[in-house]
Structure 1
Amino acid sequence: MTPNHSVEKIGGTSMSRYDDVLQNIWLRPKKLADGHETLYQRVFVVSAYAGITNGLLEHKKTDEPGVYALFAEMDDKRPWQAKLQRVLTDMLAINSSMFSADSLEKKRADQFISERMHDVQVCLEHLEQVCNFGHFQLDDHLHRVREMLSALGEAHSAYNSVQLLRQHDVNATFIDLTNWRSDTQQSLDDHIAAAFSAVDYASEMPIVTGYTQCREGLMRTFDRGYSEMTFSKIATITHASEAVIHKEYHLSTADPMLVGDGKVHPIGHTNYDVADQLANLGMEAIHPRAAAGLRRQNILLRVKNTFEPEHSGTVIHNDYCSSNPKVEIIAGARNVWALEVFDQDMVGDFRYGQQLNELVLESGVRILTKDYNANTVTHYLKGNKRRINWLMERLQSVYADADIRVEKLAMVSAIGSDMKIPGLLQKAAGALSAAGVNIQSVHQAMRQVDMMFLVSDSDYAKAVKALHETLIEQSDNWNQVKTA
């Protein structure tokens, strides 16, 4: 039987505007292939409300410590306890804004999250006591602590969503993949398959936690991209007809906050290759590993703007290639660390680069790209300053005779499904030069789906504007892009 159901993920910023999500997504009927409309035949994977995971772990952009980061420090004053209470206060405030003060839904929502937060506090206090003994080291348990704290945010938003939907006579079902207070542990695939074995897609609307507890440990591989893996696995295991990601913005030709809202336009179609390039910059439509399952099963992925429900969004599929070679997107990343190692002893020594790569991977930073010549290797990295400093110290101790330096830059990239345009590199470099942007480094692979420029961090916005204007707005394809 051909599947009718879609699997849809709602991001944290969208979830915080739950009234918009209610009207624009949940209560908006889905049109089936036979022309009928229904509220069902949809599975929703929800993220935590905006800011909650930052409080539970650490701030994604500023690295301000959350409960996890404070607990990992093992400070005798236990600052993590006060932080945990502040996060609970924030969660209860969300409940108060969603439900009337004397409603049964609010009482249920408050009791649900308060009990879970209490469980976490007791667990962490006991773990502290155990780790006071030399036989138990905190580092051996921190990845489990991180997983447990992550589970709270998604469980909170999923449970609340079910209460809200039932107020509107929707048969919503809470599917809790966090494995809370369970004495069994399954693989990721088995856990999801078991959770959906009895779901009737035609008559119920599953609301699913974005975090899945499993033997593999999602956060070990995906860290805070775990909800995308949950979303992808549900789509592939249940053989969904379509996968949809609801975000607070369109997948557009550039960031409208930088270029100007009237100068960018949503992209109608692209492929998973382009999505991978965006993910490399941290501006993912979907995590590459999560996309792999969709790609293998040829499940169409659609990225939609939560607040413009009439718009069909961006369709991502395997075989798309632009009809004419062109640049589709200008994207980038700020706070990129260029880590340069110069050492004449590396000439002809293949083991030198191998050990260097291992140290970079061990540091936990993300590699955007790298370049090298006979005696110099430069890695362009994304990560917090603490990890960069750790890496610098390790490199200095291992390569005592090398000259090692680090510089903060920005990366700006032109991306497209087919960019085999003669003179494109010259045109792009000319645009940056005309805008007064000095290029520190250039990267372009033979496949020609992306072109990267490393520039001063202070020139980031200027570079994005210059490339968008020259490569997209002034291109012959601009009218087609605007109507895509």
Structure 2
Amino acid sequence: MAQHTVEKIGGTSIARTDTMLDNVLIAGRSGSDLYNRIFVVSAYAGITDALLEHKKTGESGVYALYADSESDWAWGDALSEARSKMFAVNAEIFGDGTARTVADNFVKERVDGVRDCLIDLQRLCASGHFQIRDHLMTVREMLASLGEAHSAHNTALLLRENGIRARFVDLTGWRQDEDLPDFNTAVDQAFASVDLETELPIVTGYCRCRESLVRSYDRGYTEVTMSKVAVRTGAAEAIIHKEFNLSSADPKLVGADKVRTIRTTNYDVADQLSNIGMEAIHPSAAKGLRQSGIPLRVRNAFEPADPGAAIREDADAAEPGVEIVAGRKTVYALEVYEPDMVGVKGYDAAILSSLKRHRVHIMAKSSNANTITHYLHGSPKAVRRVERDLGSEFPGARISTRTVALVSAIGRNIAKPGMLVAALQALEEAGVEPLAIHDLMRKVDLQIVVNQEDHDAAIKALHKGLVEDSVANDTLKQAA
């Protein structure tokens, strides 16, 4: 049997169904060439926002409304609105006809089932013997699964309408009464009867299992599911179809004529990108692929002829140099200054405990004799809670938070002589004053903290100084 690929299509891409059919799902294939592929699909763009909460604005969706009120019916209205959005997607994809009816009936059955569960849970908790907060994570998982099941079911149905033997692989555990399986078992059971040579599996991005994917990975669970399916089925390659190429910087910011498309890099670089929120792949998903020796390819779904970027564990750099310059514009610098810290243990442990409790991500950290600074990504509310915790824990400390930006120059090997000097010179020429610099002995990234308003200018300057000018100099040397 030919080795297969496992491919993930994101929500923004799968929403452009006709393009995905032409560029990815079918892409001119016929006969046996259509198979030996597995697709894991995300919910359509905007659906998970409606079911949970808006990822960027925080606007309440069904889950947030349900969690905030045990009796208010606002969540019910929001669920009806989410169902209407799903129906609208169905209408756009299938028009009128039998397939549309099948798609709508699937949504109605799932949404009505979830609504009944949530009403019953409210009634149960009204007695006072049960607390709704004890069940909120289960509610969140159930709501998240709706969007994933909707898109996977639609995609399989659409492919069958096009004469392809597509199979809807539902990992959501809907209406399953047996004991909750572990992640490995759930995937193994789902694929036990699948014939990859004659069937095209379309898999839900959410898997109901003992590990609780939403609790563990929040909104990054689809890529984790993709990775697990690739590992458990022994895939030759994992592929993520995105809306862009993996490039040396954001072409909208730096200029499409100035960026370089990344063709090969390694999982180390992918990890550094994840750290600043520019994910090529979720770090937990990358871990499974890396440990199993499965390469990852990141492709632009809208440029089917482009081979994309290959990410492999063994892809060492031929020459030292920066490959990617990227950053995060909103970072919270949490500084704990305590003169009595010198020679005393426990301060860092207490800070880390609070950050973990409030699920705040650490992007970088620095310390000296009496000051510890963490550069954080998280909600403003969570960061304020950390501040309050630490204020109570260390009443004599001066605790402050300011909003900054963090920009990173990343590469498989950036141990190039004069790299730091070149970076500082590029920033100086652009009029950007660094607030802090993190240059580790293991030369895979150079992190520079700048004022938030200098984020864009810093990326442009570093890209010019460390990528564009470096490439030009290397070209001149080769010509000479």
TM band (smaller chain)? over 0.9
Tell me the residue number matched to 1:307. Answer: 302
Over the matched positions of the two proteins, sequence identity in percent amounts to 48
- Say if 1:472 and 1:478, in contact at 8 Å, map to a contact too: no
Superposition pairs of residues 201-220 of structure 1, within 5 angstroms: 201-220=196-215
Unaligned 5+ residue runs, structure 2?
Answer: 476-480
Question: How far apart are the structure 2 equivalents of 1:318 and 1:220?
Answer: 28
Question: How far apart are the structure 1 equivalents of 2:71 and 2:473?
Answer: 60
Tell me the residue number matched to 1:7. Answer: 6
Question: How far apart are the structure 1 equivalents of 2:432 and 2:132?
Answer: 47
| TM-score, normalised with respect to structure 2 | 0.96
Unaligned 5+ residue runs, structure 1?
Answer: none
Question: How far apart are the structure 1 equivalents of 2:129 and 2:62?
Answer: 24
- Say if 2:32 and 2:197, in contact at 8 Å, map to a contact too: no
The Cα offsets for residues 307-341 of structure 1, whole Å up to 9 and x where unpaired, read as 00101100000111221101000111121111111
Moved more, 19-28 or 386-395: 386-395
Tell me the residue number matched to 1:121. Answer: 115
Tell me the residue number matched to 1:175. Answer: 169
**What amino acid does structure 2 have at the position aligned with 1:127?**
L
Moved more, 392-401 or 92-101: 392-401
Q: Which runs of 4+ in 1 moved over 6 A?
A: 477-480
Tell me the residue number matched to 2:478. Answer: none
**1:404 equivalent in alignment to 2:399:** yes
Question: How far apart are the structure 1 equivalents of 2:390 and 2:118?
Answer: 34
Structure 2 residue matching 1:164: 3-state secondary structure: helix
Cα RMSD (Å): 1.6
Aligned with 1:296 (options 279, 285, 291): 291
Superposition pairs of residues 264-283 of structure 1, within 5 angstroms: 264-283=259-278
Tell me the residue number matched to 2:157. Answer: 163
**What amino acid does structure 1 have at the position aligned with 2:136?**
L
Tell me the residue number matched to 1:38. Answer: 33
Tell me the residue number matched to 2:127. Answer: 133
Aligned with 1:359 (options 340, 354, 360): 354
- Say if 2:70 and 2:132, in contact at 8 Å, map to a contact too: no
Structure 2 residue matching 1:19: 3-state secondary structure: helix
- Say if 1:29 and 1:38, in contact at 8 Å, map to a contact too: no
**What amino acid does structure 2 have at the position aligned with 1:259?**
V
Superposition pairs of residues 6-405 of structure 1, within 5 angstroms: 6-28=5-27, 38-74=33-69, 76-101=71-96, 103-184=97-178, 185-405=180-400
Question: How far apart are the structure 1 equivalents of 2:370 and 2:106?
Answer: 59
Deviation at 1:29, TM superposition (A): 5.2
- Say if 2:415 and 2:443, in contact at 8 Å, map to a contact too: yes
Question: How far apart are the structure 2 equivalents of 1:9 and 1:157?
Answer: 12
- Say if 1:247 and 1:304, in contact at 8 Å, map to a contact too: yes
| TM-score, normalised with respect to structure 1 | 0.95
Question: How far apart are the structure 1 equivalents of 2:200 and 2:465?
Answer: 46
Structure 1 residue matching 2:470: 3-state secondary structure: coil
Deviation at 1:292, TM superposition (A): 1.5
Question: How far apart are the structure 2 equivalents of 1:429 and 1:473?
Answer: 16
Report the number of matched residues: 474
**What amino acid does structure 2 have at the position aligned with 1:10?**
I
Deviation at 1:30, TM superposition (A): 6.3
Structure 2 residue matching 1:70: 3-state secondary structure: helix
- Say if 2:5 and 2:36, in contact at 8 Å, map to a contact too: yes
Question: How far apart are the structure 1 equivalents of 2:472 and 2:413?
Answer: 13
Question: How far apart are the structure 2 equivalents of 1:132 and 1:371?
Answer: 49
Question: How far apart are the structure 2 equivalents of 1:197 and 1:117?
Answer: 28
**What amino acid does structure 1 have at the position aligned with 2:25?**
W
Question: How far apart are the structure 2 equivalents of 1:66 and 1:479?
Answer: 52
- Say if 2:272 and 2:445, in contact at 8 Å, map to a contact too: yes
